Structure 1
Amino acid sequence: MTTINTSIPTEAEVVARAHAMIPWLREKADAVEKARMVPVETIQAFKDAGFFKILQPKRWGGYEMNPNVLNKVLMELARGCPSSAWNVMVLGVHPFEIGLLPQRCGDELWGEDNTALVSSSYAPFGTVKCVEGGYVLNGEWLTSSGCDHAAGGAFLGGRVADKNGEMAFRSFWINAQDFEIVDDWFVVGLAGTGSKKLLVKEVFIPEYRSHVIGAYDEASHGHVDNLYKMPFFYVFYAAVSSVIIGMARGMVDLYIEHMVPRQNLNQAVGAAVQDPFIKGRLGEAYSKILGSTARVLMNTDEAWSFASQGQLVPLDIRVRHFATNQFTGGECFDAAHMVFKKTSTRGVWLNSPMQRQMRDILVGANHITQNQDNIGDLLGGCLLGNPLPAANPFGAKP
């Protein structure tokens, strides 16, 4: 297949499109939560804006941009509707993973429709059996966000022994017709993501549709174009962090709108905007969110400085980036909760967008990519000179 010529917008243009959608997404957020999935028309609007092309290879009509373009888009969209932004994050990251696979995968996925989307469920809930020419998958895979919109199938994770008998964590690209969607997504937050269960029964996946998802060396990445020199785990984890940052920014937006006209009836200071505690909590929360934002964008730009030159990101930098981004969820939850507590009774009503935003941040911060406890221990050990454990997320052998 020859490369599709595509007019590629600037970063500023793409991010401006996302920013312009915030009011529209906020109006739809309640309906999205009640429907427990993002509507087709919203996904189409995201397609029209080019959000799913940001990390898609140029060969198939994508933009092949710096991952920070997607991160900045997510930071904007999540201010309006966290669930909708979460779908953009998941469905928008997988074009990157297709770029890591042999070219025939992209031809099969986008040969007839280069807008086809792919969802995922990486946690190895189901079973994988190694057979001649590939693998056979069986079982249930939970929480596949945006799967209703994934005509291009899904990436499923599983552990299987390699040719040397060592267990490897692999990702398998499976066609949409080879799984059944089970609607079990009844949750306290991010209900609109439609993160339903996928049921798979004796499905064969050829070898070329799979890769060791954490692999990162010349053997696994030496042949790919510059964007795909970025570590996949890093790109994915940073995108999750970016959505959560956007959720926290949305909480600040709502808090300011709530507080500006408010009067404190039982305090000497009448206007809420003059209350030192209200001002203090807002200032501290905003600083936490700004710090998380700066770190994610800085880390990605530093990694991009290597990948954009055709180089792999050095191990010590990968460790620092991957680990420090995982503190985003905790920091943003703390910031959002800090201001939510100052909304008093008004914030607890189910028709208050602030309580929905708070619940969405709670669930987002619970994502495995935001596991600051375990990653803090690993990062601290590395800083103290401890060797990496045998199983590590950095694609490195200790």
Structure 2
Amino acid sequence: MNTANKRDIPTEEVLVERAKALVPMLLERAAEVEKNRAVPADIIAAFKEAGFFRILQPKRWGGYEMNPSVFYKVLMELGRGCCSSAWNAMILGVHPWEFGLFPQQAGDDVWSAKDDVIVASSYAPVGSIKKVEGGYVLSGRWPTSSGTDHGEWVILGGFERDDQGKPFNKLSFLVPRSDYTIVDDWHVFGLAGTGSKSVELKEAFVPEHRTHSTTDYLMSDRGDMYLYSFQQVFYSSVASAIVGMAQGGVDEFIRQMKTRVNGSNGLRAALSPYVKDRLGNAQARVRAARARILNIAQETTRYVESRQLVPLSERVAINLDIARCGRESEEAVMLLFKATSARGIYLDNPLQRILRDVIAGANHITQNADDTAGILGGYLLGEPLPPLLFSRDPLPQ
């Protein structure tokens, strides 16, 4: 089903402006979203209407098939309004890109009747995966499926194991809503509004065409925009949402400090050199993280548009470049929060919510700058890379 010519594709500028236009509404709704522990359907509908879920969707199924950097820029704007809503936009909006990796029939299964169906996910390889004739049987509970209430399908991660139980491949499995139940166990201190509940399956059959390997990175005849690695596109999307949240923290700090008066001396807080120093250094961290994400997209686009895979040496370094975005965003908002004194700890102060949300986002596995730094350092020293991250087997330098 190719509906690309039935719909005008907006420009990058139009999509980013649409995201900016939603920020005031998202700011107004952020406390409500956190209180309800889920992003309401009307906000998801606004994202859908704006075309955000089509940015990475293949044209074959009605999407825009745009460069991932467009998606990243949209997320960086949405994060300035409501962290949890931006997180839902990120996770639900990145899945359409993955259909460039699945066999074509998977996309037909989801979008042949309606091309705006939303797909959720939980990539943690925690369930039971059993190979059977024609596919796999899945059982278990997968946690943290963000925005899963809005999904009609879910992508689940799992290990494929040999006869001795040793993992030799990591797969994505596409499962319809009829085959799983949602478990409301999302009670957390940060990103509480993402509705990241668990999904539970009992002996659900997944046909072969609804699976693909997230470990393998191989050349194929798919479109240029689907020649990036899974890790790069998914990890950069997470980082972009967090960078947007951190920029929202900067925005909120500016709003507060422009009018705040120092209780001890009666002077405007904005006159304090320490307030200005923290603000400048926080903004520098956020801008650096943003620039890093977009530079990675630009540099790797040169490879995929010439029908080349991104070299291994680049991919190993990129994983750390992306992971550090979460850490630096967290540092930026903490710098600002420490300048709010006792006022910052009240629950009606938006900055404390943003701080909690950024900390939670920076705890995502894609933002693990510690292990990722060790992997890059070991690689540079000639050590083999860990299996199932860049390939099925350990890779030498």
Same fold (TM over 0.5): yes
Cα separation, 1, equivalents of 2:390 and 2:201: 26
CA apart distance, 1:395: 6.9
**Matched AA of 1:266:** S
Residue of structure 2 equivalent to 1:254: 252
Q: Which residue of 2 aligns with 1:230?
A: 228
Give the Cα separation in 2 of the matches to 1:55 and 1:38. 21
Q: Deviations over 1:350-374 (max 9, x none)?
A: 1111111111011001100100110
Structure 2 distance, partners of 1:342, 1:395, is: 48
Query: 2:145 maps to what in 1?
Result: 144
- Look up the match of 2:276: 279
CA deviation map 1:360-397 (0-9, x unaligned): 01100110010011000011122233332334346775
Aligned residue number for residue 298 of structure 1:
295
Alignment partner, residue 186 of structure 2: 185
Q: 1:388 and 1:167 mapped to 2: Cα distance?
A: 15
| Aligned 8 A contact 1:315 1:396 in 2 | no
Residue in 1 aligned with 2:389? 392
Residue number in structure 1 paired with 2:70: 69
Asked whether the 8 Å contact 1:216–1:396 carries over to 2, the reply is no
In structure 2, C-alpha distance between the alignment counterparts of 1:357 and 1:78, rounded to whole Å = 10
Kept in 2: contact 1:319–1:394 (CA 8 A):
no
* C-alpha separation in 2, matches of 1:344 and 1:48: 41
SS in 2 for 1:316: helix
Task: Show structure 1 runs of 5+ residues with no match.
Answer: none
Q: Identical aligned pairs, as a percentage? A: 49
Alpha-carbon spacing, 1:166–1:27, altered in 2? closer, same or farther (3 Å): closer
Deviation at 1:272, TM superposition (A): 1.1
After superposition, give the CA deviation of every residue in 1:132-177 in whole Å (9 maximum; x if it has no partner). 11100001000000110002x1110111126998621111000011
Q: How does 1:94-243 map to 2 (within 5 A)?
A: 94-151=95-152, 153-161=153-161, 167-218=168-219, 222-243=220-241
Secondary structure at the aligned position of 1:326 is classed as: helix
| Amino acid aligned to 2:68 | P
Question: Which residue of 346, 355, 373 corresponds with 1:349?
Answer: 346
Q: Is residue 55 from structure 1 mapped to residue 52 from structure 2 by the alignment?
A: no
| Paired position in structure 1 for 2:361 | 364
Partner of 1:309: 306
Report if aligned partners of 1:37, 1:193 keep a CA contact under 8 Å in 2.
yes
Q: CA deviation at 1:215?
A: 1.1
Q: What secondary structure sits across from 1:300 in the alignment?
A: helix
SS in structure 2 of the partner of residue 85 of structure 1: helix
**1:198–1:355 distance in 2 versus 1, CA, 3 Å:** same
Q: CA deviation at 1:108?
A: 1.1
Write the letter of the residue equivalent to 2:361. Answer: G
Deviation at 1:310, TM superposition (A): 2.2
Give the direction of change, closer, same or farther, for the CA distance of 1:333–1:166 in structure 2 (3 Å limit).
closer
Letter in 1 for 2:160: V
Aligned 8 A contact 1:54 1:70 in 2: yes
What is the RMSD of the two structures over their aligned residues, measured on CA atoms?
1.6
Greater Cα shift, 164-173 or 120-129:
164-173
Select 1:327's aligned residue among 317, 324, 327.
324
* Separation of aligned partners in 1, 2:254 and 2:392: 43
- Which amino acid in 2 is paired with 1:17? R
Contact 1:281 1:339 in 2 (8 A): yes
Q: Relative to 1, partners in 2 of residues 1:162 and 1:215: Cα closer, same or farther, differing over 3 Å?
A: farther
> 3-state SS of the aligned residue for 1:233?
helix
Residue 246 of structure 1 aligns with an amino acid whose one-letter code is: G
**TM-score where L is the length of structure 2:** 0.96
DSSP-derived class of the 2:4 partner: coil
Quote the residue 1:8 is aligned against.
9
- Report deviation, 1:4: 3.5
Equivalent-residue separation in structure 2 for 1:145 and 1:188 (angstroms): 15
Shift of 1:214: 2.1
Q: Residue 358 and residue 111 in structure 1: after superposition, are their counterparts in 2 closer, same or farther (change >3 A)? A: same
Q: How far apart are the structure 2 equivalents of 1:115 and 1:69?
A: 19
**Whole-angstrom distance in 1 between the partners of 2:228 and 2:385:** 20
Q: 1:318 to 1:394 in 2, by over 3 A?
A: farther
Are residues 1:21 and 2:19 paired? no
**What is the aligned length?**
393
Give the Cα separation in 1 of the matches to 2:172 and 2:163.
Answer: 16
**C-alpha distance in structure 1 between counterparts of 2:124 and 2:282, whole Å:** 32
Mind listing any 5+ residue stretches in structure 2 that lack a counterpart?
Answer: none
The TM-score, its normalising length taken from structure 1, stands at 0.96
Q: Quick one: distance in 2 between partners of 1:243 and 1:50?
A: 17
Instruction: Indicate if the aligned counterparts of 1:217 and 1:395 stay in contact, CA closer than 8 A.
Output: no
- Check conservation: 1:259, 1:272, Cα contact below 8 A: yes
Contact 2:128–2:139 (CA under 8 A) maintained in structure 1: yes
